[in-house]
Each structure stands twice: as C-alpha cells, then as structure tokens.
C-alpha cells in the first residue's frame, strides 16, 4: 500500500450501485478501505449486510463489515425492491457468504476508527445517513477529526422517490440534517449529476468484455438495474449513482463541484426529504457543502472499466 493511500469507510445499502462502489474503492491502492458499514435502505439491513459480504467474497477482500441502523431516526422506513429486486442485488447468482459480519455496531466502528486516525478518514455514504447521524450524536468529539464526507444523495432539482426528494435523503431526512449541520466538509453527488451517467448497453458491454468474474458480475448487475430506469424514465440504462463517491476521490477532475448552502426538508408532506440547494446563493448563507453539478460521463465509465480490470 503506498504511503499516500487514503483511508475510507464505505457506508451503504447494497444495492447494485453500492456494490459497484465497493468494487471500485477496493480495486486500487489509492484508497485504503478500513471497513464497510451497512444500513437499511434499498432493502432491509440483514439483506444489505449479506450483499456486502457477497461482494467482499467475490473479490477475496478482507475488510470488516459492520451492520448498523435497521431503521431511520424518526421517519417510517422505506425500501426500494422495485429498483433493486427482493434481494437488493437481483440479477447475478448470489452465493451464501462464508465469512460473517462483525458484531460491533456501524456507528461505533465509525467513532473508533475516526478517533484512532484523527484528521485522516473520509466517509463515503451511499445510502440513508442514519449511521453517520448516530455516530455524530453519540460522539460529537469526532466531528473535527473527520477529513471529509462524500455522499451520494439529494438533488439540486427533482427527486426520484417523490417529485421533491431523492431516495437516500427521503429515507432519513433528520439524519441528513444532522450530517449537513455537522460542520464536516461534505461533497454531495445528487441526482442532478448521477443522471448524467447512464450505463447504456455499450458501457455495460465494456465491463463484460473484461472477461472476468467481476466484469461479468458488474454487467449483470447493470442489466438488472437498467430495467427500472427503462420503465420509469425511458432511458437505455441505469444511472450509476453511488460509484461517483469513490470515483471522486480517485479522479476529481472528472467532476465540476460548486460550494453552496444545502438544507434538508424535515417537514412531512410533499416536500419531505428535499435537499434545498442554494445554487445561486439567493439566501446569502455560507456554503455547507460542495455539490457536484457535472460529470465527464465517458471519463467516469472509462475509470470504472480500467480499475475493475485489475480484478482477475
Ligand atoms: C440512491 O438510492 C438507491 O436506490 C441507490 O443505491 C442510490 O444510493 C439513488 O437515489
Ligand atoms: Ca445506495
């Protein structure tokens, strides 16, 4: 591992795109994956944890996996079987993983890790922000010790679960509010940018052409994931949301980000979970996040294929 390797904790709800984010993050020496923490989200916690275990075994990795929240702080629990299937990872054959998850709670793992490496760790959440919010409430001393948060969630414009809200934000708006008010540097990858990166058939074919187990696994995941996007949006592939978080650390030049104030709507009703992004600074408030606005989609997919090619 090179001296410059950047320690990260992946927190997510695998999930097709979460799974591909794990593959990307583990595929290279620039990132040191300290662990994967899991949350309810796309499906229930037991299943998202199982899916993380499956991905770990697929690549023969050794990082520990810590289950966390099985529900939001206050809101009713949502799930997205309509997008990800009953398993949360429908498409490929899913083996029963041999090695179990750890027993320490995800929030506790985050706390202990950050305390042990002050100023070093980047958190990459790709699901509801409940685990981070729990950690921040349990141990506010860690806030100044976190290097950065790079989150997939929210949107500068429309939602995907309601007209106003993106799924990860809507799952636990109160947790998102805690995180966005934490003072930790945040970069947000919302639907406004992830919908620019569609895994169309030509891009899926590039993964398959790797001729490896990981390449085939990724291609099959993306083919299943495409179905929902075809029906909902009429697109010829799925929007590859979550891997933008790891890609940003590996190749920030692929993205245009802009600092702005982001407030989470914690009201109930049609605006619940909306990420109010003050793109034009009409409120005059100081920014609390960098928000991704554009991606070089071809470069993003090229990076993914190039890095996943490292798995034999
Ligand atoms: C987000 O919701 C989940 O279905 C995906 O994994 C992604 O994190 C997109 O809204
Ligand atoms: Ca996710």
Residue 17 Cβ contacting ligand 1 at under 6 Å = yes
**Between the CA atoms of 17, 20, 26 and 30, what dihedral angle is there, to the nearest 10 degrees?**
-70
Mean pLDDT, the chain, integer: 97
Domain borders along the chain are: 6-308
The size of the chain, in residues, is 312
Q: Closest ligand to 83 CA?
A: 1
CA 296 to chain centre: 19
| Mean local confidence (pLDDT), 287-307 | 98
**Of 3.40.50.2300, 1.20.58.220, 3.90.245.10, 3.30.420.40, which CATH number belongs to 6-308?**
3.90.245.10
Q: Is 166 in the pocket of ligand 1 (CB under 6 A)?
A: yes
Question: Does the CB atom of residue 168 touch ligand 1 within 6 A?
Answer: yes
Q: Closest by alpha carbon to 273, among 169, 137, 143?
A: 169
Ligand 2 centroid distance, CA of 24 (Å): 14
CB hemisphere CA count around 284 (13 angstroms): 0
pLDDT tens digit string along 1-40?
A: 455 799 999 999 999 999 999 999 999 899 999 999 999 9
Contact 239, 194 (CB under 8 A): yes
pLDDT-derived band at 312, boundaries 50, 70, 90: confident
Which of the residues are catalytic? 13
pLDDT digits (tens, 9 = 90+) for 209-218: 999 999 999 9
State the closest ligand 1 atom to the C-alpha of 167, by its place in the atom list counted from 1: 10
pTM for the model stands at: 0.98
Task: For residue range 57-92, list pLDDT tens digits in order.
Answer: 999 999 999 999 999 999 999 999 999 999 999 999
């Amino acid at each position: 591992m090179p001296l410059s390797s950047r320690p990260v904790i992946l927190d997510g709800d695998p999930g097709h795109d979460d799974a591909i984010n794990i593959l990307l993050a583990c595929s290279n020496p620039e990132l040191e994956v300290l662990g994967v923490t899991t949350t309810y989200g796309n499906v229930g916690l037991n299943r998202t944890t199982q899916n993380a275990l499956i991905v770990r075994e697929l690549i023969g990795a050794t990082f520990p996996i810590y289950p966390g929240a099985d529900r939001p702080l206050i809101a009713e629990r949502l799930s997205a079987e309509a997008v990800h299937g009953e398993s949360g990872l429908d498409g490929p054959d899913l083996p029963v993983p041999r090695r179990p998850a750890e027993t320490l709670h995800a929030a506790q793992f985050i706390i202990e890790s950050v305390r042990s490496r002050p100023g070093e760790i980047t958190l990459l959440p790709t699901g509801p922000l409940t685990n981070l919010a729990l950690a921040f409430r349990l141990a506010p001393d860690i806030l100044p010790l976190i290097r950065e948060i790079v989150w997939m969630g929210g949107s500068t414009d429309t939602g995907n679960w309601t007209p106003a809200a993106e799924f990860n934000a809507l799952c636990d708006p109160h947790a998102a509010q805690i995180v966005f008010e934490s003072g930790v540097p945040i970069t947000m990858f919302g639907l406004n940018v992830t919908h620019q990166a569609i895994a169309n058939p030509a891009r899926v074919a590039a993964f398959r052409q790797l001729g490896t187990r990981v390449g085939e696994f990724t291609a099959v995941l993306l083919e299943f994931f495409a179905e929902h996007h075809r029906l909902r949006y009429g697109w010829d592939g799925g929007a590859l949301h979550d891997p933008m978080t790891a890609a940003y650390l590996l190749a920030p030049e692929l993205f245009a980000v802009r600092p702005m104030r982001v407030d989470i709507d914690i009201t109930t009703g049609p605006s619940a979970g909306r990420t109010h992004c003050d793109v034009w600074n009409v409120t005059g408030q100081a920014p609390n996040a960098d928000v991704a606005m554009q991606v070089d989609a071809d470069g993003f997919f090229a990076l993914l294929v190039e890095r996943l090619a490292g798995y034999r």
